[in-house]
Amino acid sequence: MDDQERVIAARYRLLHLLGQGSMGTVWAAHDEVLGRQVAVKGILHTPGMPDVEAAQLRERTMREARAVAALSHPNLVTLYDVVQHDGNPYVVMELVPSRSLGEVLKEQGCLTEKQGAAVLDAVAAALESAHRVGITHRDVKPGNVLIADDGRVKLTDFGIARNVAEATMTARGITLGTPAYIAPEVAQGGDVSAAADRWSLGATVWAAMAGEPPYVGRNVMQTINAVINGEVPVPAGAGRLAPVISGLMQKDPEQRMSLVDVRRKVYPLLPEPGTDAFEIRAPRPMPVIVRPKPKIEPDAPLAADPGPLPFQVTKPAAPERTPITRTLVLVAAVVLFLVGSGGGFALTRLVAGAPLLPPVEQGAPTLPTLPSSPTFEQRTENAVTAAGDQGGKFTLKVDQSWTRYAEQRAADQRVPASAVVHFVSPSGAYEVAVQRFPDFYPKRKIAEYVAAVQARWASRFYGGEKVPTPNLAGARTEDGIQFVYKTVEGDEATALRRSHFSRVLPYGNDLWVVEVVVPTEQEDAARERLFDAIASTFAPV
């Protein structure tokens, strides 16, 4: 069956191919539920990748997409939905008629000062929004900055972005980022952080003002070597933006200018209100699917409740339009560049003695060793939603080596918006999540939370018996419960089976959930060593 005839997740009808690379394919598509045009990105199973790693890639993609879906900012390409179809993840995004900054530079050579200020301000604002919830972009470059036909500037392609706590799930040595724009510490194999995104922003605007990247070698290996060992070049043609670019491109990550300071310094250089830095372009219309309205009999029964929507409802956008030919040429150019640069970067790591890919595991993956004597330490954290509510502080004892990150979850039909603080073990196999639903009571009951968990996992939720649990000291509307449920993530052949120990605790008008997630194969031992030891130390402050 042709791609154009495919319907993903019984909802998104593929219209035509926009581009294809080594890691995925992007189509223009029609959302048959909301009647709007969207972009759908499918993640490919890389040829030669072991099944275990492919399953991890699919699971990581779903996790990343869920995290990015929590972002809402005018300078970010909106992620609408993430679905699974035939066992593979598909990401549904806003379709923006636009040119990339890279294409704009090819057309006009370099940006004006006002255009450079507009790009700096917009991308800094977008990154600030992502970093606030612990998400790094990992590949800021001219090809991922879009100049929309209506003059807006948007950052796109979080395809290799990840939550900072997902570092343990990513195989070391896989090429990430584009060599001419990656930070020196990343080129040397270090972790990608928010500071690395700031370097890439500086390098991107350096190239935009000079008309060429800040580091140019005869080949990719020379470029990487210059990024690591060379002096930071003085911004060429940047005018009053030069101090900001130099502030971002500091070899020491701790010395790089903050995004707040970037926006403060470029504010006087932005275009006057009501004017646009970039030319407004009239896009050509895209193909539109027109379907006859279904004939409904007067006495026909209503359709069954479809359950919670997989995204927060916003005002539907008007159908988008894009120049098809120009987009295909751009995508092809970006793909060729990534293939060439990625190979050189991988070779550089090989020459440096760093492992390019993890060894291929035979059979089932080896489970990490369950810590027999975790080095617990008392931590005080704050589970506050994006609305800025009060009363979110709590204490909990967690192993001191576990990484902490925060997440915002949108409301659905059953439960309100919530804040989640995660603690992830270095191996990535164990996780503690503390979730807070502010003002859960008096409108709701614990049963609605349990129903929301079941709906989230649909047919892959295997619930256990619910039992009473010690209540928190203080006023409460109902007694707490404790239960265990199991989930299966990924394909059945290489499924990740996890057990979730949940302690659900009413406290005043809030509902708190302390959850410990472990491999199902270690469920019995983990209950005593991790869940019982950790959950009993939780207390709101």
Per-residue pLDDT at 464: 74
Which pLDDT belongs to residue 440?
94
Q: Give CA–CA dist 410/418, Å, rounded.
A: 7
385 contacts 417 by C-beta, under 8 angstroms: yes
Given strand 88-94, what is the order of strands in its sheet?
7-8, 12-20, 24-31, 36-43, 88-94, 79-85
Are 479 and 446 in contact by the 8 Å Cβ rule? The answer is no
Alpha-helical (H) ranges within 216-323 are 220-229, 242-248, 259-266
Mapped onto helix, strand or coil, the DSSP state of residue 144 is: helix
- List 88's β-bridge partners, or say none: 85
| Residue 393: strand pairing partners | 382
CA distance 315 to 184: 42
297, with CB counted inside 10 A (0-12, 13-18, 19+), is exposed
Output the CA angle 136-140-141, nearest 5 degrees. 170
Question: What φ, ψ does residue 463 adopt, rounded to 5°?
Answer: -80, 150
- Rounded Cα distance, 155 and 124, in Å: 9
Collect all residues with Cβ–Cβ distance below 8 Å to 138 and sequence separation of at least 6: 160, 161, 162, 176, 177, 192, 196, 197
CB 91 within 8 A of CB 218: no
Please name the residues in contact with 293: beta carbons below 8 A apart, sequence gap of 6 or more: none
Residue 30 carries which side chain, given as an amino acid letter?
H
| Range(s) of the chain covered by CATH 3.40.1000.10 | 376-540
Q: Where in the chain is the domain with CATH 1.10.510.10?
A: 3-283+311-345
Cα–Cα nearest to 98, from 75, 69, 82: 75
pLDDT in tens, the chain (541 residues): 455 468 999 999 999 887 765 456 888 999 999 999 999 988 766 555 667 767 777 776 777 677 777 788 999 988 888 888 887 888 898 888 888 999 999 998 999 999 999 999 999 999 999 998 888 888 899 988 999 888 899 998 775 444 443 333 333 333 345 688 999 998 887 778 899 999 999 999 999 999 999 998 766 667 888 888 889 999 988 999 999 999 999 999 999 999 999 999 999 999 988 788 887 766 545 544 444 444 444 454 544 444 443 333 334 344 444 555 555 545 455 444 444 444 444 434 433 444 433 443 444 445 667 766 667 889 999 888 766 667 889 999 998 778 776 777 777 778 888 888 888 777 677 889 999 999 999 999 999 999 888 887 766 677 777 888 989 988 899 999 999 998 876 555 556 788 999 999 999 999 999 999 998 888 888 888 899 999 999 999 9
Q: Please state whether beta strands 12-20 and 496-507 pair in parallel, antiparallel, or not at all (unpaired).
A: unpaired
244 vs 270: CA distance, rounded Å: 14
Q: Is the pTM of this model over 0.85?
A: no
Instruction: Name the 3-class secondary structure at 179.
Output: helix
DSSP letter for 170, please.
S
CATH of the structural domain 3-283+311-345, one choice from 3.50.50.60, 1.10.510.10, 3.40.50.300, 3.90.226.10:
1.10.510.10
Residue 91's nearest CA partner among 82, 100, 99, 104 is: 82
CB 463 within 8 A of CB 451: no
Question: Looking at the chain, how many residues does it have?
Answer: 541
Contact 409, 420 (CB under 8 A): yes
* Residue 372 pLDDT: 62
Predicted local confidence at residue 493, as pLDDT: 52
The superfamily (CATH) of domain 376-540 is: Mog1/PsbP, alpha/beta/alpha sandwich (3.40.1000.10)
What pLDDT, on the 0 to 100 scale, is given for residue 408? 74
Whole-number Å distance between alpha carbons of 418 and 192: 27
Catalytic residue IDs: 139
Measured distance CA(531)–CA(503) in Å, rounded = 9
H or E segment and range at residue 201: helix 194-210
